[in-house]
Structure 1
Amino acid sequence: MIKGRQLAKRLLIMTFSILLIHSWGGTLIGRAATQSQVQVSLTPTDDESAVPPVDPDNPSKPYPGDSADAGNVTGTGSQGQLTIDYVSNLKFNATTTQRGPVQTTAENQRAMVQVTDRRSTGAGWTLQVTPSPLQSRQRTLSTTLNLGTVHLQAGAGNVSMAPQVVNTTDLKPGMANNVLVADQHSGLGTWLLVLNRGTQPTTLTINDQQLTAGNYTGRLAWSLTNAPN
């Protein structure tokens, strides 16, 4: 009986000693830890080819077109590091009102402006639009354009900070209006300004009191500066 107790005591002492050795060995390994370096070089892209337009509802797919802007699917073809890739032609619903002012909404389902910044500087940019007067052969209208509720859509895989929408209302003919501003280190990659979406549609207000029947056309001159403005 005494021998059994002595044997159990020796086994307990041996187990405790093994635990001490294991703990001491683990501490020694932790103290021997060190660090290594990870290094990578990023070089600016030299790709200046035209960026094709993409679907605002699914940027991983090509632009499918817009029934109100038939045939406008290939984009502007602009080449460079900072480009306007695509602009929609806006078509507004016909109105039979004989006296103004009158307001009409855009028919477009996928109206948008697509911008791409492939520069490595992160300098930012500004998207501006200058409407022209709407004219027929007989008359020039006094109009105001309102882009309404717009939606900013990033290109597929784009994780850059978004540009800011600064103005979409009361865009008068002959005046350059800042619409999007990308501050430094934002607006990189491809961004889509999607129009005629949400609670407020894209609208055209004709301010004239007396209206003359006819087809009226005008232009939207979109420009892109290479810095916030």
Structure 2
Amino acid sequence: MKKRFAVSTVLMSAALVLGTTTVWATTSTGTSTAKITFTTNEAPVIVDPDSPDPTNPYDPTGNGGNTPTGNTGPLTLDYAPNFDFGSNELRLDKSLFQAIDQKPFLQVTDRRVNPTQWEVTVKLGDFNDEGGNPSLAGSTLSIDAGTVQTLINVTGFTAPTTGDITLTPGDAGDAQTILASAEGTFSTWQIYWEGNGTDNDFIKLNVPVNVQMEGTHTATLDWTLTDVVN
């Protein structure tokens, strides 16, 4: 009887020790972070207006176009087009000339954290002949509304709007709005004035017959992107 009692006591003691260990178990915790930084230090990619794919940069200079601006920051004018009206025989019965450019476009990129309205205006300087003298007085440059488009697979933002404009050379107050957003438009946007294979129906220069002179005449277009304060 005594031996059996002793064994029973040992087993009961072991059970009590195990129970005590379970009751006093503890949990340890900690915290860490996941971090990413975005910058706007590089100029946005220029995209092909025929297939606006941001993974396939487009070089407009290789297609007779203008040099990209290289502008950096959260809201940028990336590219503005040249307009070439070609070589024309002087005729006394023709005053309207169409651009010969087949792929002119304007590109703006909005990468702002708190986007607001913005607009692009353009004005036309005086025409000058090859000697730097003023020329083609009374001319007007008409730019009709082109196609407004954005990058592939970018949705959820209201597209900017455009419309027909007419510019008078040398008029300091003649800046016209060519593209405008009613609200923030986080994306890259373009106006595309696609040619018809020979001329461009969207871009026209009206030169009075009596001021047409032999030689090349050049004017500067100034394009300005402005963040509109709401």
Same fold, TM exceeding 0.5? yes
**Do the aligned partners of 1:101 and 1:208 also contact (CA within 8 Å) in 2?**
yes
Distance 1:215 1:179, change over 3 A: same
Q: Deviations over 1:83-127 (max 9, x none)?
A: 011112111122223437611111111111100011121201010
Equivalent positions of 1:177-216 (< 5 A) are 177-185=176-184, 187-197=185-195, 200-216=201-217
Specify which of 59, 63, 67 is matched with residue 58 of structure 2: 63
Q: Deviations over 1:49-78 (max 9, x none)?
A: 1012100011113225367625x46x2110
User: What is the aligned partner in structure 1 of residue 158 from structure 2?
Assistant: 161
Identity %: 26
User: What is the aligned partner in structure 2 of residue 33 from structure 1?
Assistant: none
User: What is the aligned partner in structure 2 of residue 9 from structure 1?
Assistant: none
Distance apart, 1:157 and its partner CA = 2.6
Query: Partner of 1:153: helix, strand, or coil?
Result: strand
Q: Deviations over 1:6-49 (max 9, x none)?
A: xxxxxxxxxxxxxxxxxxxxxxxxxxxxxxxxxxxxx9943231
User: What is the aligned partner in structure 2 of residue 131 from structure 1?
Assistant: 124
**Do the aligned partners of 1:149 and 1:202 also contact (CA within 8 Å) in 2?**
no
Query: Partner of 2:167: helix, strand, or coil?
Result: coil
Distance apart, 1:151 and its partner CA = 0.9
Q: How many residues align?
A: 183
Distance 1:157 1:78, change over 3 A: same
Distance 1:214 1:139, change over 3 A: farther
**Do the aligned partners of 1:151 and 1:197 also contact (CA within 8 Å) in 2?**
no
Distance apart, 1:209 and its partner CA = 2.2
Q: Deviations over 1:174-211 (max 9, x none)?
A: 211111110123x3210011124579331111135242
Distance 1:100 1:195, change over 3 A: same
Work out which of the two has the higher radius of gyration on C-alpha atoms and give 1 or 2. 2
TM-score, normalised to structure 1, is 0.71
Separation (CA, whole Å) in 2 of partners of 1:96 and 1:228: 48
**Do the aligned partners of 2:101 and 2:195 also contact (CA within 8 Å) in 1?**
no
Structure 1: gaps (5+ residues): 1-42
